[in-house]
Amino acid sequence: MNPTEREQLEVEVDKSHQVKRLKDKFLDKFFADKERQIFDSIKALPLGDEKNLNAMHMMLKSMQSLQSEVNTVMNSGTMASMSLSEGIDKPKH
């Protein structure tokens, strides 16, 4: 592994740690609260209110997309950390 690759992997690991701290401190509760609010809003909609139902659906999809992105960053960091470990463990030729 060359120094540039190592540096890129270290950046991924650092980014992952930052996102995990943010997720643990704030995002988990935020996502749970917002999901509950969206479902409560959906349950309160009158039958046939397609416009507002679609708006709630889009909010839910947007939130799920953000959650997916957070998980992707954390998984990338995990993979980068594994690559760094493998690079350290491999004997140099």
Are 13 and 80 a contacting pair, CB within 8 Å? yes
Biggest alpha carbon–alpha carbon distance for the chain? 70
* Alpha-carbon separation of residue 26 from 1, 23, 32, 45 (angstroms): 36, 5, 10, 29
> Tokens in use for 62?
């947007």
**Of 65-69, 70-74, 84-88, which range is least confident?**
84-88
How confident is the model at residue 1, as a pLDDT?
Answer: 72
pLDDT tens, 49-69?
999 999 999 999 999 999 999
pLDDT tens, 6-54?
999 999 999 999 999 999 999 999 999 999 999 999 999 999 999 999 9
Are 56 and 38 a contacting pair, CB within 8 Å? yes
- Which is more confidently placed, 89 or 45? 45
Band of residue 87 on the pLDDT scale cut at 50, 70, 90:
confident
